[in-house]
Structure 1
Amino acid sequence: MKYTNAKKILPEKLIIEIQQYIQGETIYIPKQEKEYNQWGSQSGGRQWLDHRNAAIRHAFKNNSSIEQLAKDYFLSVETIKKIVYS
């Protein structure tokens, strides 16, 4: 998390207003909801999981058993069931 001195970026009137509620402490101002990225969208993790899950569904449709898929992908049987039945 990056810290910025409010005097460098906020108008003095706004600082005075904020000081009525808090002084000399650090506050966190979250991003607006529209600014958030979905999990894994920047790292590629989401894309990797989507690709893996598609491969699991494809193998299941081609008669691989849930137990075998769990062993092949190092996942629990319950996780495989969630993937193939969703």
Structure 2
Amino acid sequence: MAAHPLTQSSELSEGSARGGMLPRILIVDDDVDAADGLASLLQAAGYGDTRVAHTGGTALALAVEFLPTVLLVDLDLPDMSG
């Protein structure tokens, strides 16, 4: 089975209208501009609910509350790594 990537934001937004679940995305990066910029791009493209954390501690607390389905994580944060 070949994968067919979605290429238009309208196709992404239709996922919820068709009963599909949009991802809950948690972005963790101490580079504030990079994390916030990526979150803005994902939201503009229709990728569901996106949250941002700039420290590992904040990310852990947010993950428990938000229950993300996708994590985009910087592996070398100042307060924790790996």
How high is the TM-score relative to the length of structure 1? 0.27
Query: Which structure is higher in RCO with an 8 Å CA cutoff and minimum separation 6?
Result: 2
Q: Which has the higher helix share?
A: 1
Rg comparison, structure with higher value: 1
Q: Which has the higher strand share?
A: 2
